Structures are given as structure tokens and as C-alpha cells.
Chain A
Amino acid sequence: MRGAKIIVVFIYILFLMLPIYWLLNMSFKTTNEILGGFSWYPQQFTLDSYITIFTDPTWYSGYINSISYVLMNTVISVSLALPAAYAFSRYRFMGDKHLFFWLLSNRMAPPAVFVLPFVELYSAMNLFDTTLAVALAHCLFNVPLAVWILEGFMSGVPREVDETAYIDGYSFPHFFVKIFMPLIAAGIGVTAFFCFMFSWVEMLLAKNLTSVAAKPIVAVMTRTASTAGYELGLLAAAGALTLIPGVIVIWFVRKHIAKGFALGRV
């Protein structure tokens, strides 16, 4: 029984790792070797693809642009969602349930629906082709998600904590920053992780809201793939590098990740 369980988990993880291994394998090969035929590991090991990416500004600026809008979006989403989640978690007010569903419904809106109007909207605001435009556009799905997760974590904190603090003479902002936020620190971390994740992986909006100056790495990859023929080695290396931020943030929240995926509701 125990052995069977280990085998199930092992096979599943193996299945997850194989395509990733294949990507890494390709990234250390020359394009000629890739197109030359099938091989389990690089015969002529090379770092050329990685060197190209780190020395060519059109490549590495893509990473800088992506990271900057992802960070901006994470900060905006979490800081706006914190007070809102507190309101939903602690009080009843007119239209609260409808409002909550309306917020969530934006997480359900297919980005494809919003591509064209977003381009018009952000052009009208003179923000087209800036990282700020992408950061704000990603708020469409990240803010509702952040409210949802934070509300779950906040509802796990007994209301007596708030009441005692108010009796002790704390003002709301003082109480919120000094007492309440440390209590849900894990929840804030998990929320930031999710905002980071969904902003990092999204491509459709990020690609269409930028053209030259703020081009994200995901767009650099697709355009390079279509214009310069198939530089498979380069493409694989660029893809492999996009794994790194994910690995870093996931390592930080590994202890809370299971609870976070349940949106704080376990």
C-alpha cells in the first residue's frame, strides 16, 4: 500500500519533470544539433543561447519589463485588496454579497474579451506601451483574487482581536498596520505569491498592450520565433530562464502554499 503510493507520486512528478528536462536539454544544444536529430542529452554542450540572451538588450530588457510590471501589479493588488478584504470579512453593508460576486466575476472574464477595449482605453490614457499599463490591466483579475484569498485568511482571525484593540484605544489604521497585518502575514505572503504568479504567466494582455518600449519577455519570445525563423536553442533558453522567478517565489511560500491554494479556506 505504502509502496504503491510512493510509486504514484513518483510517476506523477516524473511526468511533470520530463517536458521541463526536455526544455533544458534543448537550451544547452546548438540549433544545428537540435534540428540534426533526437538525442537524450546535449552532445556538444553549449551556453551560447544563454550568453546571447544576457548580452542582447532586446532579450534581457524583456525580462526587466516583465519583472517590473509583475512587481508593480503585486504591490498595487495587495495594498488595495487589504482594506477591502477586511471590510468583507468583518462587516455587513449594503450590497456586500452582490459586490463580492461582481468582483469575482472579473476573475472569470476571459482576457480575450478585453483585449481590444483595453488597447483603446490605455491608448486614450496615454499609457499604451508602458509597464504601468500592463500592471493596471492585470489588476482586472488579480485584485478580485487578492480580495478573495485575503478575506479567507482574515476570517480565520477571531473578531475579539479587533474589539480588544479598539477598546485599548487603537485607531483603525494603527490597529490594522500594527496588529492585524502581522497576524495575517502568511496570508499576505500567499496573496502576493498568487498575484505574482498570475501576472507572470499571462501573455495575451501583456503582449497586446505593449509594442516596443515595454515589450515583455513572453512577447519577445513569440516575435523572435516568428521573425528569425526557428532559433530553437535560443527559444528554449529563454523559456528555461522564465522558470527561475517562479522557483524563487515558490520556495518562499512553500510552507503555506497548500493552504494558499485553498484560498485560505481550510
Chain B
Amino acid sequence: MTVKPVNQKAWLLVLPVLLIVALNAIIPLMTVVNYSLQDTFSPGVFFYEGTKWYQDVLSSPRFHGALGRQFLFTGIILLIEIPLGVAVALAMPRKGPWVSVCLVLMALPLLIPWNVVGAMWNIFALPDIGLLGYGLNWLGFDYNYTQQPFAAWFTVVLMDVWHWTSLVVLLAYAGLSSIPDAYYQAAKIDGASAFAVFRYIQLPKMKRVLIIALLLRFMDSFMIYTEPFVLTGGGPGNSTTFLSIDLVKAAIGEFNLGIAAAMSILYFLMTLLVCWVFYTAMMRGDES
């Protein structure tokens, strides 16, 4: 690949995007930073508080709990969705009329508004009238997600697997379909095993898209709010209260602006850090 020419006028082309994103990102972010350093007793009157809110947040068991649950949730769904998505993509037909049908059906959950996803699973998992809840109880499991923390976790994780695994499938499938047929024929002549084909042909071709999948799934699961909020409301107790749910509760429910803002900043920095690691890995992959 030839090197791109240097042209400072390119800034003009980027300017409109810069302005709209700055409006939406910099001004609100500064507001959050301000709140996180100030306290207020009446509208419009603020006092500088330094790092008080940050210390409060960092030492509060409530934040630790939400953070722990958030990492556990993200970890579990990545461990399920990535391998499952790759497995389904490998099982997909490579050509033929069924490919489009499969892709459209699989993409369907991705296009459902998130609160509808929550509402749908709320009904689907009800022990008396939902297929999942009724079925599990019929099979002899004592299942009620509104009362049992474990059942609530099971439902939230299953819902997320239902909702997002297709994204991994589509990405992995896109990677697989870029492999020329000649590679498979060569492997066949060499008598390569199915595992060898996967390890040395399919996996390397999927590497880039899998990093994208990992990045997207990490980001979105780390910010998850609407679906578990509609499904369980963060309960029973606090058992499914993830970071975003806790944050919105503090900001809008309790109007604890200082605490909420400090949480926001910490939350944003964590997301940014992890994404930077993924992004660097991805760009390195692009260059090689």
C-alpha cells in the first residue's frame, strides 16, 4: 500500500462532524466535570468541593457492588456470545438461497428497540404465562425471576445472548466469506483435518472481525441499561443493578448530582481505557 498524501485542507472536510460531535460531547462532558467537582444547595449556587465526590464514590460499597456485577455480566456474556457466534457462523451455509433468509432472521433481534426487548423477555419469562418461565417450571425447576437473584441473572444473560449473539455471527460470517475457495481445496488435497482448517485458515481470517466483535460487545454490554431495567428493574434487591442503572438511579431518581457526575466520569474513563486497548490491537492488525 502506498502512503497517503499529507493534506491539511482535509480538516475542512472533517469540520462539520467535529462541530456536531463537539456540541454533543464536549459541552455535556464539561457539565458533568463541573458537577463532579461542585456541590449545590439552591439552584444556580455552586461550591467547589474538590475531589470529595470521587472519594465518596470510590469508597462506597454500592459503587463497588455495581462495578463488580458489571464486570461479571460483561465477562459472562463475552464468554458465551463469542464462541457461540463463531460456532453458528461456521455452521452457516456458504452459498445458496438460504443464506439471505438466515441472515435476515438472525439480524432481527438487533433491530428491536431495547425496551421492547426487555418487555418481550419480561412476558416470555413469566412463570405463569410466559413460555420460558412456564416451560422451566413444567420441567421441574423452581424458577421465578422476580424473586430469585439467580433466576434474574439467568434471564438477563439469556436475554443478552438472544439479543446480541447474532452480531458476532454476522461479523464472523463476513470474515469467513472472504476466504477464497482455493484455500479449502488446497487444505483438502493436503488432507488437513477440520480442526486444522479452522486453526490455520478460518481463525486467522476471522481475527480482525472478531476484534471488532469483541470491541462492540464489550462497549455495549458495559453500557447496558434499558433491557435489564425493563426486565428486572435492577432487582430483586440490587442483584441485577449494573453501572448504568445505578447511575441513572443516582442522577434522576435521587438527584445526587455530585455523586452521579463523579460516577459518570469514572465510568467513562474505564470504558475509554478498555476500548483504547482493543482499538490499538485492531489498528496494529490493520497495518500488518
Contact = CB atoms under 8 A, between A and B. Distances in A.
A180 to B, nearest CB: 12
Contact of B271 (A90, A91, A110, A115): A110
Interface in A199-227: 200-204, 208, 217-218, 221-222, 225
A261 B174 contact: yes
Interface residues of A, number: 97
A106 B112 contact: no
B130 interface: yes
A71 to B, nearest CB: 15
A80 B112 contact: no
A92 B6 contact: yes
A159 B1 CA distance: 10
B2 interface: yes
Contacts of B13: 83-84, 86-87
B102 A13 contact: yes
B109 A103 contact: no
Interface in A6-60: 6, 8-9, 12-13, 15-20, 22-23, 26, 34-35, 37-38
A154 B194 CA distance: 35
Interface residues of B, number: 98
B8 A16 contact: no
Contacts of A72: none
B92 interface: yes
Given A117-B27, A250-B107, A266 B16 contact: no
A201 B107 contact: no
B103 interface: yes
A204 B225 contact: yes
A261 B106 contact: no
A85 B93 CA distance: 34
B279 A265 contact: no
B55 interface: no
Given A117-B28, A239-B116, A262-B209, A19 B87 contact: no
Contacts of B10: 87-88, 90-91, 93, 96
A22 B129 CA distance: 10
A147 B174 contact: no
B17 A106 contact: no
B92 A9 contact: yes
